[in-house]
Amino acid sequence: MVEEEPKIKAIEGVTSPTIIGLCLGGAVFVLCMAALTCFCYRQRRNHNAKRHGPDQPLAFHTHRRPTAVKSPAGTTTHYLKKSPSPTGPSKTPPGMSAPHTPSPTGSSSGSMAGPLESGVSNGSDKVEQSTTMKDVYTTENEVHTPTKEEMETNEKNLQQSASYLGQLVFKLRYKHDKNALIVSVVRCRDLPAKDPNLGSSDPYVKLQLLPDKQHKVKTRVLRKTRNPVYDEDFTFYGINFNQLPNITLHFVVLSFDRYSRDDIIGEVFCALNSVDVTQIENQQMALCREIQPRSLKIRSQGRGELLVSLCWQPAANRLTVVVLKARNLPKMDVTGLANPYMKIYPLYNGQRIAKKKTHVKKRTLSPVFNESFVFDIPAGGEGLDNVSLELLLLDWDRVTKLRYVIGRLEMGGAKCTGTALHHWKEVCNSARRQIADWHKLRE
Where residue 425 falls (left for φ over 0; alpha for ψ -120 to 50; beta otherwise) is alpha
- Evaluate whether 132 touches 75 at the Cβ level (below 8 Å): yes
Q: How far apart are CA 126 and CA 105, in angstroms?
A: 14
- Evaluate whether 188 touches 227 at the Cβ level (below 8 Å): yes
pLDDT value of position 213: 66
How remote is the C-alpha of 114 from its chain's centroid?
A: 47
Taking only the tens of pLDDT, the chain with its 443 residues reads 555 555 555 555 657 788 888 888 888 888 888 888 888 888 887 766 655 554 444 444 444 444 343 334 443 333 333 334 333 444 444 444 444 444 434 433 333 333 333 343 444 444 344 444 434 333 334 445 556 666 666 655 555 545 788 999 999 999 888 888 999 999 999 999 888 778 889 999 999 888 776 678 999 999 999 999 999 999 988 888 888 888 889 999 999 887 766 888 999 999 888 888 888 877 888 999 999 887 544 444 578 999 999 999 988 899 999 999 999 898 876 677 889 999 999 999 889 999 999 999 998 999 999 999 999 988 876 778 889 999 999 998 766 667 788 899 999 888 888 889 999 999 999 889 999 999 999 87
Is omega for the bond preceding 211 within 30 degrees of 0, making it cis? yes
Alpha helices in 246-303 (DSSP H): none
What DSSP string describes 16-73? Answer: HHHHHHHHHHHHHHHHHHHHHHHHHHHHHHHHHHHHTSTTSPPTTPPPPPP--EE-TT
Backbone angles phi, psi at 442, to 5 degrees: -120, 170
Write the DSSP symbol of residue 218: E
pLDDT value of position 344: 95
Q: How far apart are CA 56 and CA 49, in angstroms?
A: 10
Q: How far apart are CA 278 and CA 385, in angstroms?
A: 67
Sign of CA dihedral 136, 137, 138, 143: positive
- Evaluate whether 233 touches 284 at the Cβ level (below 8 Å): no
Domains for the chain: give ranges and CATH numbers. Answer: 77-100+119-145 (no CATH), 167-290 (2.60.40.150), 305-440 (2.60.40.150)
pLDDT value of position 58: 44
Q: Which segments within 317-367 are labelled E, that is strand? A: 318-327, 340-348, 351-352, 356-357
| Closest C-alpha to 193, from 223, 225, 220 | 225
Q: How far apart are CA 26 and CA 370, in angstroms?
A: 126
| Closest C-alpha to 407, from 437, 443, 440, 364 | 443
| Angstrom distances, CA of residue 66 to CA of 102, 118, 126, 227 | 21, 20, 9, 40
3-state helix, strand, coil in the chain (%, to 5): 20, 30, 50
Please tell me the pTM assigned to this model: 0.38
Q: How far apart are CA 189 and CA 265, in angstroms?
A: 12
Write the DSSP symbol of residue 158: H
